[in-house]
C-alpha cells in the first residue's frame, strides 16, 4: 500500500505540486562569441594601421621577394633628406656603427634589411653598408619595390 505515497519528480502535469526546477549545467557561449567577433573586427581594422614605417620612395626592380623570417628583421632606412633610421628611430651617422654593434650582439639573426630612397646616392648607400659590415652584419638585403624594369629587351 505504499505505492501511492511516492511522487514522481519532474513529471509534467498530473502532479500535485510544481516540479522542482533543476539548475542548467550548460554554459551560454553566445556572449563569448559576440565579444570574440567584435575583437576580430577591431584587430582586422587596426592591423594595417600598425605597419608604421619611414615614408621613402623605393626603387623598383624585377627581383623576387625574400621569404619572411621568424624574428622581426632589423631595418635600416635612408631617407631622401639624408637621415638614417634604425627601425623607426633616427640615428646620427657618427653613432651608427656603435649602435649597430650593440644590436648585433643582442640578435640571433644576422639579417638586416636596408631601405634607401631612390634619390639617395650610391656612395651614401655603400657607406651605410660598410657600417653594417663593420658592426658584424654579413647578411644585408636591399629592399626594393616589385614590378620595375628588367634588363631584357621588350618584345
129, 140 contact by CB (below 8 A): yes
pLDDT at 12: 55
Which residues neighbour 87 within 8 Å (Cβ) at sequence distance 6 or greater?
74, 75
Residue 112, all three cell numbers: 638586416
Domain boundaries, the chain: 60-146
In whole angstroms, give the CA distance from residue 64 to residue 150: 12
Extract the C-alpha cell encoding 147. 614590378
CA–CA separation, 67 vs 74, rounded Å? 15
pTM recorded for the entire structure? 0.52
**pLDDT value of position 35:** 93
pLDDT per residue of the chain (155 residues) written in tens, 0 to 9? 445 445 455 555 555 667 778 887 788 888 899 999 999 999 888 887 776 666 777 777 777 776 665 667 788 888 888 888 888 888 888 888 888 888 877 777 778 888 888 888 888 888 888 888 888 888 888 887 777 777 775 54
Those residues whose C-beta lies under 8 Å from the C-beta of residue 103, and which sit 6 or more positions away, are 74, 86, 135
**Cell numbers 631622401: residue:** 80
99 three-class SS: helix
Q: Provide the pLDDT for residue 16.
A: 66
Cα dihedral 32, 37, 40, 41 sign: negative
**What is 60-146's CATH number, 3.20.20.70, 3.30.420.270, 3.40.640.10, 3.40.50.300?**
3.30.420.270
Contact 16, 5 (CB under 8 A): no
Amino acid at each position: 500500500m505504499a505505492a501511492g505515497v511516492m511522487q514522481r519528480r519532474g513529471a509534467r502535469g498530473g502532479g500535485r505540486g510544481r516540479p522542482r526546477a533543476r539548475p542548467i549545467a550548460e554554459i551560454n557561449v553566445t556572449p563569448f562569441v559576440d565579444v570574440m567577433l567584435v575583437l576580430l573586427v577591431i584587430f582586422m581594422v587596426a592591423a594595417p594601421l600598425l605597419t608604421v614605417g619611414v615614408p621613402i620612395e623605393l626603387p623598383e626592380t624585377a627581383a623576387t621577394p625574400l621569404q619572411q623570417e621568424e624574428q622581426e628583421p632589423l631595418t635600416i632606412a635612408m631617407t631622401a633628406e639624408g637621415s638614417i633610421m634604425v627601425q623607426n628611430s633616427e640615428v646620427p651617422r657618427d653613432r651608427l656603427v656603435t649602435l649597430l654593434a650593440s644590436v648585433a650582439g643582442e640578435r640571433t639573426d644576422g639579417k638586416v634589411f636596408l631601405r634607401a630612397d631612390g634619390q639617395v646616392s650610391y656612395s651614401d648607400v655603400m657607406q651605410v653598408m660598410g657600417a653594417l659590415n663593420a658592426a658584424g652584419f654579413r647578411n644585408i638585403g636591399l629592399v626594393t619595390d616589385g614590378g620595375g624594369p628588367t634588363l631584357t629587351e621588350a618584345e
